[in-house]
């Protein structure tokens, strides 16, 4: 529905009702919310999209809201992210160290990179068909490496780049004037790379560390395939719009979750054993070490409401419930004819331990002369990871992100949007890390007996060197959105 049509439905409202609504929105935003490190909070770009928006961002937020579209639309959004993650490590009995991972994520890549959202669709009086491509789940972090191999983050992560590209067709059907139903199906392509050190001597000595670099490449041809399903409902009553939707976890793969086939994997032998890459028997030059990463992704429930307070003024409140409790570990399996002979483990589990999280936000937007829309949004999040489980691969804590948005009509059919947000997280200090380095040796001494608590630690991925230390994070997001309407 266009702005002028909506404005015709608006009337005056009791000031007490408006005050109550504003208070309710503040209460919702102030409640506990969280976001997983693998989740992208701006999947559809830094725009005015949401569960009740009648634009192509609804393919992600709520496919039923696509039923508000009329005619042909094209939407291209890109979000760049600058992040700085600092680690001051204080492992028990080991020298302290510090490292900073500074990453810049930009969407101008092929396949469409992290932060890119491209969608097109056509809406009639009864049906709307649309298609989009985007990355709803990704995680990127790169710590500097050292020639001496003494990086303070090496046992948790040196670098991580996990990507999940979704190709999503969606359909919306209108029932009457105020009810829409939407359906979507996603085709997900998973790629990634992961690099870390394995403490083979049990003394956290770089000379005894093996190095693992599992890498699939980032092309479509390098990806493993799975599918997702989704649906939603949109309903309008006078000046109030409501939308709810659901997106499933990946289905149809060979593992429970998504899989990354590390055909470009390398494993380095500890320097104390001669160093260098693990080789093939007989001195063959061809590569014969292969890795495989598997992990789970969440189901997602989304809900939101839009209240048209008066002509040109809108209040949006929305929330995403992300069932990330299933993403409790990253399971790594390797195949190589010389790994066992070199004493290199072929099955490694990295602990994640995420909680179910709720990303809640409130946004106020104002139209000025129907050509310019400006808005302010607030997201408030608490950590998805227990404070004792924070580590270099999952730096998380209480966060707040104010966002400013603007959208300008450039011509009769062209719109340009822009946004900026800064995420501020107070530092997190870990003094009693969930990671227990002695557990690995205790389990090995008991021949891997799973009744031994130390072996249970190893199976959960917590039998690793301690992650005690102080962690800081600062993230800035910059977004542009181009929309063409015919």
Give the DSSP per-residue string, 306-323.
EEEEETTEEEEEEEEEE-
User: What superfamily does domain 3-433+468-485 belong to in CATH?
Assistant: Outer membrane protein transport protein (OMPP1/FadL/TodX) (2.40.160.60)
Q: H or E segment at 220?
A: none
Domain borders along the chain are: 3-433+468-485
Above 90 in pLDDT, residue 188?
A: yes
Category of 238 on φ-ψ map: left (φ > 0), alpha (ψ -120 to 50) or beta: left
Cis ω on the peptide bond leading into residue 111 (within 30° of 0)?
yes
3 state DSSP class of 66: helix
Residues 6+ apart with CB under 8 A from 293: 162, 192, 194, 214, 259, 260, 262, 330, 331, 332
Confidence band (pLDDT; 50, 70, 90) for 283?
A: low
11 vs 251, more confident: 251
Q: Compute the distance between CA of residue 188 and CA of residue 401 in angstroms, rounded to an integer.
A: 29
232 vs 437, more confident: 232
Task: Give the tens place of pLDDT for each residue, 91-122.
Answer: 888 888 999 999 999 998 888 889 999 999 99
Above 60 in pLDDT, residue 35?
A: no
Q: DSSP of 89-153, one letter per residue?
A: E--TTS--EEEEEEEEE-S--TTT-TTEEEEEEEE-SSEEEEEEEEEEEEEEEEPPP-TTS--TT
Order the strands of the 258-262 sheet from edge to edge: 258-262, 290-295, 329-335, 347-351
Confidence band (pLDDT; 50, 70, 90) for 227?
A: very high
Q: DSSP of 21-49, one letter per residue?
A: HHHHHHHHHHS--B--TTB-TTTT-SSS-
Compute the CA torsion angle 249, 251, 255, 257 (nearest 10 deg). Answer: -10
Query: Tokens at residue 325, please?
Result: 């409790």
Instruction: Kindly state the average pLDDT of the residues 180-194.
Output: 96
Query: Tokens at residue 401, please?
Result: 């992100």
Instruction: Kindly state the average pLDDT of the residues 17-42.
Output: 52
- Averaged pLDDT score across all residues of the chain: 88
Share of the chain above pLDDT 70, in %: 92
Q: Compute the distance between CA of residue 192 and CA of residue 55 in angstroms, rounded to an integer.
A: 31
Give the pLDDT of residue 261. 94
Contact 289, 278 (CB under 8 A): yes
CA contacts within 13 A on the Cβ side of 215: 12
Going by C-alpha positions, the residue among 181, 170, 138 that lies closest to residue 327 is 138
Above 60 in pLDDT, residue 34?
A: no
Q: Compute the distance between CA of residue 53 and CA of residue 73 in angstroms, rounded to an integer.
A: 14
Confidence band (pLDDT; 50, 70, 90) for 351?
A: very high
Compute the CA torsion angle 153, 41, 113, 211 (nearest 10 deg). Answer: 20
391 vs 38, more confident: 391
Confidence band (pLDDT; 50, 70, 90) for 370?
A: confident
| Residue whose pair of structure tokens reads 């669709």 in the numeric block | 121
Confidence band (pLDDT; 50, 70, 90) for 26?
A: very low
C-alpha dihedral sign at 237, 238, 240, 242: positive
Give the pLDDT of residue 274. 86
Query: Other CB atoms closer than 10 Å to residue 464's CB: what's the count?
Result: 25
Confidence band (pLDDT; 50, 70, 90) for 382?
A: confident
pTM of the entire structure?
0.88
Give the pLDDT of residue 284. 62
Task: Give the tens place of pLDDT for each residue, 120-166.
Answer: 999 998 999 999 999 999 999 999 999 899 999 999 999 999 999 99
Q: Compute the distance between CA of residue 190 and CA of residue 409 in angstroms, rounded to an integer.
A: 37
252 vs 72, more confident: 72
Above 80 in pLDDT, residue 204?
A: yes
Query: Tokens at residue 349, please?
Result: 């589990």
Give the pLDDT of residue 190. 95
Instruction: Kindly state the average pLDDT of the residues 277-301.
Output: 82
């Amino acid at each position: 529905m266009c702005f002028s049509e909506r404005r015709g439905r608006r009337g005056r409202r009791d000031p007490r009702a408006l005050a109550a609504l504003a208070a309710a929105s503040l209460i919702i935003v102030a409640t506990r919310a969280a976001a997983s490190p693998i989740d992208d909070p701006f999947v559809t770009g830094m725009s005015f999209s949401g569960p009740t928006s009648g634009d192509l961002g609804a393919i992600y937020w709520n496919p039923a809201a696509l039923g508000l579209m009329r005619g042909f639309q094209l939407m291209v959004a890109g979000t760049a992210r600058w992040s700085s993650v600092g680690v001051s490590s204080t492992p028990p009995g080991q020298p302290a160290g510090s490292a900073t991972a500074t990453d810049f994520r930009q969407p101008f890549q092929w396949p469409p990179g992290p932060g890119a959202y491209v969608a097109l669709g056509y809406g009639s009086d009864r049906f709307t068909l649309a298609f989009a491509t985007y990355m709803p789940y990704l995680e990127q972090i790169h710590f500097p490496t050292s020639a001496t191999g003494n990086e303070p983050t090496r046992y948790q992560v040196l670098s991580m780049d996990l990507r999940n590209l979704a190709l999503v067709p969606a359909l919306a059907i209108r029932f009457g004037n105020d009810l829409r139903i939407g359906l979507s199906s996603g085709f997900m392509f998973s790629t990634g790379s992961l690099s870390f050190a394995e403490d083979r001597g049990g003394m956290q000595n770089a000379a005894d560390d093996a190095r693992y670099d599992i890498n699939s490449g980032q092309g479509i041809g390098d990806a493993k395939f799975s599918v997702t399903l989704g649906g939603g409902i949109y309903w309008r009553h006078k000046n109030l719009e409501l939308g709810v939707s659901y997106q499933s976890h990946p289905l149809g793969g060979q593992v429970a979750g998504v899989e990354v086939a590390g055909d470009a994997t390398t494993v380095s032998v500890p320097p104390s054993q001669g160093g260098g890459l693990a080789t093939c028997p007989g001195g063959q030059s061809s590569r014969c070490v292969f890795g495989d990463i598997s992990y789970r992704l969440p189901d997602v429930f989304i809900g939101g409401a839009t209240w048209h307070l008066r002509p040109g003024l809108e209040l949006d409140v929305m929330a995403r419930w992300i069932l990330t409790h299933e993403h409790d570990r990253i399971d790594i399996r390797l195949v190589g004819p010389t790994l066992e002979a070199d004493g290199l483990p072929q099955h490694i589990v990295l602990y994640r331990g995420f909680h179910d999280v709720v990303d809640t936000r409130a946004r106020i937007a104002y139209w000025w002369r129907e050509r310019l829309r400006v808005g302010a949004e607030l997201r408030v999040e608490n950590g998805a990871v227990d404070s004792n489980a924070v580590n270099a691969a999952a730096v998380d804590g209480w966060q707040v992100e104010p966002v400013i948005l603007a959208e300008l009509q450039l011509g009769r059919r062209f719109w340009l949007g822009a946004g900026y947000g800064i995420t501020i997280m107070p530092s997190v200090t870990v003094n009693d890390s969930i990671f227990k380095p002695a557990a690995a040796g205790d389990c090995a001494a008991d021949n891997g007996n799973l009744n031994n608590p130390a072996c249970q630690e190893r199976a959960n991925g917590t039998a690793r060197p301690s992650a005690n230390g102080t962690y800081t994070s600062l993230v800035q997001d910059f977004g542009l959105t181009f929309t063409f309407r015919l």
